[in-house]
């Protein structure tokens, strides 16, 4: 229990995906309610938090923003090891970032706990005129 009688839960959230898909933008938007369109590449990883109350329960989101460059991909499994949630992000204006999702899902399967919850996020939806990834599903 914390000082006001509410219980607290910590959730470790890890953002993964190719470089420049907007992982840092997502974490800053969630934790600081700010938006920028020009961030530097993340080196290794960065960390931020935000707490919210839901049904008198305090939830502390521990956000780990991982680097998406090939150079740092080998350390991503360390972030995933005890994660509760993984957000796999891709850039709707860069088709190759969508095509690389399977690599990130494989990394999740190999490194994350079996109980992890996962979400797929198509980012940069404000750039519709540059969209390279459609919203249509192909049925086979």
Given a cut of 60, whether residue 2 has pLDDT beyond it is no
Q: What's the token pair of residue 84?
A: 């509760």
Work out how many domains the chain is built from and give that number: 1
Q: Give domain status of residue 138, yes or no.
A: no
Q: Give domain status of residue 110, yes or no.
A: yes
Alpha carbons 70 and 62: distance in angstroms, whole number: 24
Residue 12 sits in which domain range?
A: 7-130
**In this predicted model, what pLDDT tens digit does every residue of 5-63 receive, in sequence order?**
557 899 999 999 999 999 999 999 899 888 776 666 666 677 899 999 988 899 999 99
Q: Give domain status of residue 136, yes or no.
A: no
Q: Give domain status of residue 58, yes or no.
A: yes
Q: Give domain status of residue 2, yes or no.
A: no
Q: Give domain status of residue 113, yes or no.
A: yes
Distance of CA 15 to the CA centre of its chain: 2
pTM of the model: 0.86
**In this predicted model, what pLDDT tens digit does every residue of 67-125 receive, in sequence order?**
876 666 788 999 999 999 999 999 999 999 999 999 999 999 999 999 999 999 999 99
State residue 91 phi and psi, 5-degree precision.
-105, 120
DSSP string, 11-74: EEEEEE-STTSSHHHHHHHHHH----S--PPPSSEEEEEEEEEETTEEEEEEEEEE--SGGGGG
The per-residue pLDDT for 136 is: 79
Q: Give domain status of residue 27, yes or no.
A: yes
Q: Report which DSSP code applies to 37.
A: S
CATH number at residue 14: 3.40.50.300
4: confidence class by pLDDT, cuts 50, 70, 90? low
The per-residue pLDDT for 8 is: 85
Q: Give domain status of residue 140, yes or no.
A: no
């Amino acid at each position: 229990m914390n000082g006001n009688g509410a219980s607290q839960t910590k959730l470790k959230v890890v953002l993964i995906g190719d470089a420049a898909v907007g992982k840092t933008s997502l974490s800053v938007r969630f934790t600081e309610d700010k938006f920028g369109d020009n961030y530097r590449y993340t080196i290794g990883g960065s960390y931020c938090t935000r707490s919210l109350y839901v049904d008198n329960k305090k939830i502390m989101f521990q956000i780990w923003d991982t680097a998406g460059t090939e150079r740092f991909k080998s350390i991503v499994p360390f972030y995933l090891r005890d994660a509760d949630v993984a957000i796999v992000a891709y850039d709707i204006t860069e088709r190759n970032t969508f095509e690389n999702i399977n690599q990130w899902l494989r990394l999740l399967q190999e490194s994350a706990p079996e109980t992890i919850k996962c979400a797929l996020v198509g980012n940069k939806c404000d750039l519709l005129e540059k969209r390279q990834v459609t919203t249509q599903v192909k049925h086979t």
